[in-house]
Amino acid sequence: MAKLYFNYSAMNAGKSTLLLQASYNYQERGMKTLLFTAALDDRTQVGQIASRIGLNSTALLFDESKDLFETIKEETSTERIDAVFIDEAQFLSEAQVWQLAKVADKLRIPVMCYGLRTDFQGKLFPGSAALLSIADIMREVRTICWCGKKATMVARLDQNGDIVEEGDQVVIGGEERYVSLCRAHWLARQLRTDQLKQLEPEFEAVGV
């Protein structure tokens, strides 16, 4: 039975790389994949999913007005679709998450979503909240804080490289605007500096 997957992480954990690799694995076996990305993410060419290591692929765009079930159903009327991949899944609406669940349940096509869990204030994105509620399988894509501990939080930076605590939930940006931190250093609003305090034992580097 097809399932709805949610692969989540903090920023810069390689989600897009994993998505593109998984899609390639299907295609290598002669299967057809359908890729979507958020229309508001303009960091790369519009209609393209790109990873930091140079991988890229064309993708359909979604915004809040798009009915993903009907779009995918229409695609299946002309060719077989073996898997659906959603990049920047945190920008899905709750209704669209239910549409994707319907794709898995009614069309029997596995749907794999990749996105952030929380924003820079530690709050769930609407799409992520819905996916955490109803996805069949959830997987954490791990990355690390500057201290070596697992990073679970995202901090937003201003033009001076200082942490921002207020603002709109969605501000598009990459490494120049966001940094992933462990919960303790996110709460302390502590970025790595040349005058690092001696790390406490619980912040000793750990593998991921």
> What are the sequence ranges of the domains in the chain?
4-203
- For 34-69, write each residue's pLDDT tens digit: 999 988 765 555 567 776 666 677 899 999 899 999
Mean pLDDT, rounded, for 165-190 = 79
Give the per-residue pLDDT at 193. 63
What is d(CA 60, CA 43) in angstroms, rounded to the nearest whole number?
16
Out of 40-54, 79-93, 193-207, least confident range: 193-207
For the chain, helix (H) and strand (E) counts, in that order, are: 5, 13
Give the per-residue pLDDT at 27. 93
Give the single-character DSSP code of 197: P
Q: Which residue has the tokens 């005058």?
A: 195
Class of 4-203 per CATH?
alpha beta
Q: What is the mean pLDDT of the chain?
A: 84
CB 56 within 8 A of CB 37: no
Q: What percent of the chain has pLDDT over 70?
A: 83
Please choose, from the candidates 63, 116, 110, 43, the residue with its C-alpha nearest in 3D space to the C-alpha of residue 83.
110
What is d(CA 20, CA 2) in angstroms, rounded to the nearest whole number?
20
- pLDDT band at 111; cut points 50, 70, 90: very high
Residue 16 predicted with pLDDT over 80 = yes
- pLDDT band at 175; cut points 50, 70, 90: low
Give the per-residue pLDDT at 37. 92
What is d(CA 197, CA 84) in angstroms, rounded to the nearest whole number?
46
Does residue 88 have an active-site annotation? Answer: yes
pTM > 0.75: yes
Give the per-residue pLDDT at 190. 87
Residue 200 predicted with pLDDT over 60 = no
Residue 96 predicted with pLDDT over 60 = yes
Mean pLDDT, rounded, for 100-115 = 97
Show the tokens assigned to 112: 């794999």
Tell me which of 88, 166, 175, 204 is the catalytic residue: 88
CB 15 within 8 A of CB 9: yes
Give the per-residue pLDDT at 196. 41
Residue 179 predicted with pLDDT over 80 = yes
Show the tokens assigned to 150: 């697992």
What is d(CA 153, CA 157) in angstroms, rounded to the nearest whole number?
13
- Cα-flanking dihedrals φ and ψ of residue 71, to 5°? -65, -45
